[in-house]
Amino acid sequence: MTREMRELQPADGKTFGFYCCGPTVYGPAHIGNFRTFVLNDVLRRVMEVSGMRTKHVRNITDVDDKTIRDSQAAGMGLTEFTEKWTARFHRDCEDLNCLKPHVEPSAVQHIPDQIALIEALIEKGHAYSAGDGSVYFKIASFRDYGKLARLDQQDLELGKTQNRRANADEYEKDSISDFVLWKGRRPEDGDNYWESPWGEGRPGWHLECSAMSFKYLGETFDLHSGGEDLKFPHHENEIAQSRCACGGEFARTWFHPRFLMVDGEKMSKSLNNLYTLEDLENDPGATAMEVRYVLISAHHRKQLNFTFDGLHAAREALGKLVRAEARLAKAAGQDGQAALSYKELCRLEDHGVFAPALAALNDDLNTAEGLGQLFKGLRTAATEGDPGVNWLGFHAILAALGLLLPDLGDPEAPPEVVALAEKRQEARATKDWAGADAVRDELKKLGWTVKDGQNGYELKPL
């Protein structure tokens, strides 16, 4: 709210409670959505690897304008439709190695809680019912409205005095209006309605997060997160209705990762650059870990420009980490051994030469610097300090970043390497041992070695 840097500590001294606005499940989440979810995952992991307990709450929006509209267009019931897309979201999260939230409530499951919150707002004079069975929040009753999004005070006063109402779940910043808490039943809603003291209808989109954060984290909690596009109206409305109905400070800290661009342009359906994880896995054949690496490669307060070159660089970087881990494991006497479990890595106190990487992550969640320090530590991890401590510290940083190292296997030899190997075989067949040795040296220069056997030869990368 103040735009100041704040140290993250649990208000109760025990558990850091934070709420992340989750997906609206009317289609597959795209990589722009996942930048926020992955960075929230890194935030949680860094705190846990640093020894802090967390309580992570992330909601599922399974009733709003879009879910109702698209479920009816698909000829499906709302529950069947949203469960389908919720399952897809969970699969993508698992592929991206995101930890499951401790609590994942849905809007439909908490309609009674939302009705109770509206009743409290009406009783305290912050909400009123309209003639169509809808209930609206009266923004003129909350003097701090607009502070998070830094709304222009003159425009804010104009919006209040005109007594405009916004019945849509989402609207633009210039529509400063009393916002809907309960939407009276309309023909286009079909069978998607619930009973309430104001008649049949359903909750407005902004209400669910207030009801669920209050239920699972209390009237004041440590951090609230979501994409930067949610500052207004969603988070602004959450603050107003929560503080007026529940009291307390609501969120002590806010975390809004910046937008993701694609090839320097904003993601949009019209530009055909709104990629899902499945899109990138199919073409250009990226892995989920390569996508995750790209999503954490820039600081959360900087726009990330997503490119296919960036995906290629991520593949190379992960390959370097695999090879470096193998060298470090050998130096530590841990060849072929699995590292400690995530919970065990969270209890480590000594991270060896990788302590600066964790320090960078703890400094404003600087993932770009954290990755840089990870590679820097690998230069000396096998020779400086205790290789065993460094090996565990390396895996702790991977755990904090949520990176799983791929199994590279043996790559296929390129045609020029195969041609040289065949040339060597011909030399050996004519007992031209000097020629065969010369070709072997050429292969080494290209990064390959050849192993002879009874049934021919086998090429191996050095």
293: closest CA among 311, 305, 309?
311
Q: How confident is the model at residue 151 (pLDDT cuts 50, 70, 90)?
A: confident
- Vertex 219, ends 110 and 213: CA angle to 5°? 35
The 10s digit of each residue's pLDDT in 274-296 is: 999 999 999 889 999 999 999 99
Does residue 382 sit in the same domain as residue 274? yes
Does residue 189 sit in the same domain as residue 237? yes
- Residue 348 structure tokens: 């480590």
Mean of pLDDT values over 167-182 = 83
Does residue 85 sit in the same domain as residue 180? yes
Does residue 62 sit in the same domain as residue 86? yes
Does residue 190 sit in the same domain as residue 330? no
Radius of gyration of the chain (CA): 27
Q: Which residues neighbour 13 within 8 Å (Cβ) at sequence distance 6 or greater?
A: none
Neighbours of 146 (CB within 10 A): 21
The C-alpha atoms of residue 284 and residue 277 are separated, in whole angstroms, by: 11
Does residue 62 sit in the same domain as residue 145? yes
The predicted structure's pLDDT at residue 388:
96
The 10s digit of each residue's pLDDT in 331-343 is: 999 988 888 999 9
Asked, for residue 356, whether it belongs to a domain, the answer is yes
Domain stop point among 238, 257, 276? 257
Asked, for residue 28, whether it belongs to a domain, the answer is yes
Query: Max Cα separation, the chain?
Result: 99
The C-alpha atoms of residue 180 and residue 200 are separated, in whole angstroms, by: 15
Does residue 244 sit in the same domain as residue 341? no
Asked, for residue 344, whether it belongs to a domain, the answer is yes
Residue located via tokens 């698909």: 74
The C-alpha atoms of residue 337 and residue 328 are separated, in whole angstroms, by: 12
- Residue 435 structure tokens: 């020629």
Does residue 353 sit in the same domain as residue 421? no
The C-alpha atoms of residue 24 and residue 170 are separated, in whole angstroms, by: 12
φ, ψ dihedrals at 127, nearest 5°: -145, 160
φ, ψ dihedrals at 221, nearest 5°: -135, 175
Higher pLDDT, 310 or 273: 310
Partnered with residue 67 across adjacent β-strands are: none
The 10s digit of each residue's pLDDT in 383-397 is: 999 999 999 999 999
Does residue 298 sit in the same domain as residue 319? yes
Classify burial at 257, counting beta carbons within 10 Å of its beta carbon; exposed 0-12, middle 13-18, buried 19 or more.
buried
Higher pLDDT, 146 or 156: 146
Domain stop point among 229, 257, 285? 257
The predicted structure's pLDDT at residue 155:
63
Q: What is the mean pLDDT of the chain?
A: 93
Q: Which residues neighbour 330 within 8 Å (Cβ) at sequence distance 6 or greater?
A: 382
Asked, for residue 219, whether it belongs to a domain, the answer is yes
The 10s digit of each residue's pLDDT in 409-460 is: 766 788 888 899 999 999 998 989 899 899 999 998 888 888 887 667 888 8
Asked, for residue 409, whether it belongs to a domain, the answer is no
Number of structural domains (the chain) is: 3
Asked, for residue 301, whether it belongs to a domain, the answer is yes
- CATH of residue 89: 3.40.50.620
Considering the chain, what percentage of its residues have pLDDT values greater than 70?
A: 96
Domain stop point among 372, 401, 430? 401
Does residue 267 sit in the same domain as residue 193? no
Does residue 389 sit in the same domain as residue 424? no
Q: Where are the beta strands (DSSP E) in 97-200?
A: 127-129, 135-137, 165-166, 178-184
Asked, for residue 253, whether it belongs to a domain, the answer is yes
φ, ψ dihedrals at 134, nearest 5°: -90, 160
The 10s digit of each residue's pLDDT in 35-52 is: 999 999 999 999 999 999
- CATH of residue 268: 1.10.730
Does residue 117 sit in the same domain as residue 234? yes
Asked, for residue 425, whether it belongs to a domain, the answer is yes
58: closest CA among 99, 24, 22, 109?
22
Cis peptide before 197 (omega within 30 of 0): no
Mean of pLDDT values over 196-212 = 97
Residue located via tokens 């010369």: 438
Domain of residue 433: give its range.
415-461
Q: Is 3 left (phi over 0), alpha (psi -120 to 50) or beta?
A: left
- Vertex 211, ends 28 and 173: CA angle to 5°? 65
